[in-house]
Structure 1
Amino acid sequence: MNYYTLLDEIKQYVTNFFHTHTNDKLVYHNQVHTENVVTAAIEIANHYRLNDLDYFIVVTAAWFHDIGYFTDPGRHEERGAEEAAMFLKRKGVEESTIQTVANCIRATRMPQTPETTLEKIVADADLYHLGTSKFNELNKVIRKEFIALHHIDISKEEWRNKTIRLLETHQYHTDYCRLLLNDTKAKHLEKLKAKAAEKNPAIKNSVPIAVPVPAPVAKPKVKPLFPEDAIEKAKRKNRPERGIETMFRITSGNHQRLSDMADSKAHIMISVNSIIISVLLSVLLKNLEQFPQYTFPAMTLLTVSLVTIVFAILATRPKIPSGTFTETDINEKKVNLLFFGNFFKMSMDDYTTGMLQMMEDRDFLYRSLIKDVYSQGVVLGSKYQRLRISYNVFMYGLIVSVIAFAIAAIVTT
């Protein structure tokens, strides 16, 4: 099943749903919010490098998670899960996948209690805005929608207190969102508490300004690969800012996904043309003595299939560098230690020394990340150029071959 094509259909379906279902009260839980959640879900999914199926599940759940607001706001998660299930069943998606999508949608129900990694990603994507600069603006819109839906004129002070309780009790479930969003979310909470104390001096001393530190995340014990003192030394040096790290991570993930798609397309070309060549060699070529008029069309189709396979193979054939680097390469920052082709023949000690030197040097680290992304882009460009040639040869060659067969058949009659 082509999950990416199906995701395009899901996007179109949900978009059309929002266009055909209107509710003036839903000023927050609308198409814009859904698209923002999808964007956040894709960002988190790319960070964890999900496989195609898991990526499909997360993004699908993000598209459907709030669609139920138009039919039953009180049970919108359940209605969204049902709507997603009906759509996916029509598309022939496996029942286990449908159930996983439904569970991810239900995981957004407040208070959130996601269990699996996929559920945690969708839950964090839904409340991603709590740790962004758009929080204050969106919080006002949510209050406006709450008043319209429930016909309750909740005051700004009461809404502020509810928001404070939400921020105090909410915790992001993925490490990625904790690292990326917790600091900003804590600043929002601090400002709200300060505002509450300013409006009501009586509770100034009862509402602490300090933000409670979340409990540390338990991490599995792993035997260190490098000496402890070297790691601590590396940690003391400047590292890329979080936003830049995210940019490199997402870009690299997108490149890998495009590379996988190119390999899949090349595999299709190789498989289809291998079948054509097998049929030509086993059936048609043996009978050319009886039907000589088909010699040119048959040879044309055989040549087209062969050239198509050659370019498809060239698109996927790996190119491996020497696998070694020198001390001079490290000192001059010429080698990219993030790519296995540059070190797979080196010893562990030499590679460790090079990596520690790169980790201690901010400029070296940036250059390595840039080289890694650039190298991926160059390889992708070469892949897609050869793949395009393969598809063009197959498409135009097939047209010429069919025309030639048709002409040969007409001439003989």
Structure 2
Amino acid sequence: MSKSLIKETQEFVFNLLKDKLPNTFLYHNYTHTERVLKSTREIIENSKLKDDEIRVLELTALLHDVGYIKGYDNHEEESVKIATDYLKEKKVDDEIIEAVKGCIMATKFDSEPKNELHKIIRDADASHFGKKYFKETSEFLRKELELQGRNKFTPTEWRNENIEVLTKQHSFYTDYALKNWQPRKEKNLAKLMGKKKKRKKKLNVEKMKAKYKTQYKNESPERGVQTFYRVALRNHIKLSDIADTKANILLSVNAIIISVVLANLISKLDNNPYLTWPTVIFTLFCVISMILSIIATRPNVTSGQFTKEDVKNQKVNLSFFGNFHKMELEDFEWAIKELVQDKDYIYKALTKDLYFLGIVLERKYRLLRITYTVFMIGIIVSLISFALAIKNNPGVDIDDVIPDSTSISTVADDYIAYADFKS
């Protein structure tokens, strides 16, 4: 009778939970019921109990959580009602029914067991604390609470909650559980505390990194400042290169023009003396343009030395080679070390470099403007002087003066166009 009742109760609980228990119950389901029944029988096998007591415990293990089909709140009381109706229908003795009801109410986590049967069912219900599958079942319970809208725990919060339960709220009561499940419970607790310690250490490391990162960010130049110096210095250097290119092109143009003049006009002056002054004027302007181009591109090297007092007083710009090219390596390394230790000194050095680059650029472009103006005026004046000279000497063919219709102005215009293209 006892075995058939247990088997029938198993089928009853299985069908009841299958049909009426919501799918959101990931922990308190039939799997949990079977786990509690297995743990109950494990304790029974190692205890000296009467048949009726065994029957009470097995029935309680099967029926203690059927009340969840009505919801979370007061599920023990609902389990008692369902168990009472079912057992009465099966014509179970009133004494056994009362004992089952008492054992179901004893599964309340905040209650104290009153007898040995209560202790056994309490240990069986919480046996997962002392099992290898504790982590998995605990995670199912966390997710169930979230799906039921009871509480939502982060993994860290849930770990702390489990540590709180295992250390302060739960304890095994039976001798069997204390001997066989308590050691595993302590291992599970140790793992939780170890993870908590690692997490705390990781958070401290991350906090320290964030602190130093913030400190470094505050002490380092802002991105906008870095971009300003980078773009400004790059633009100045590019403008300096353009100025040198323009001066070199103009220098080459004038050199070629002078070569043409010497090759084609000088030999004609004996027979055409009236071209002497136009030729002199033209050549003079070309020579002046060449001299101005040379002056614009001529490098200016400074002394290349500094003193330790200059470094300490932040008067020397170590980013320009002209200030240190004659210094010893040891002195230069010392100066650089002093520079990088002071953020304000670095800013000051970059600012000085930018300023003096601007001074050099102003000089180059001013001389270039004068050079191009002189070259332009020279071309105009020379053409006018040649025109006047030829006009005042009628009957002279221009082809006799400049063979093969070679025009100095055409050559000059071609090279000016080339200069504009290169710049």
TM-score relative to the length of structure 2: 0.46
Larger radius of gyration: 2
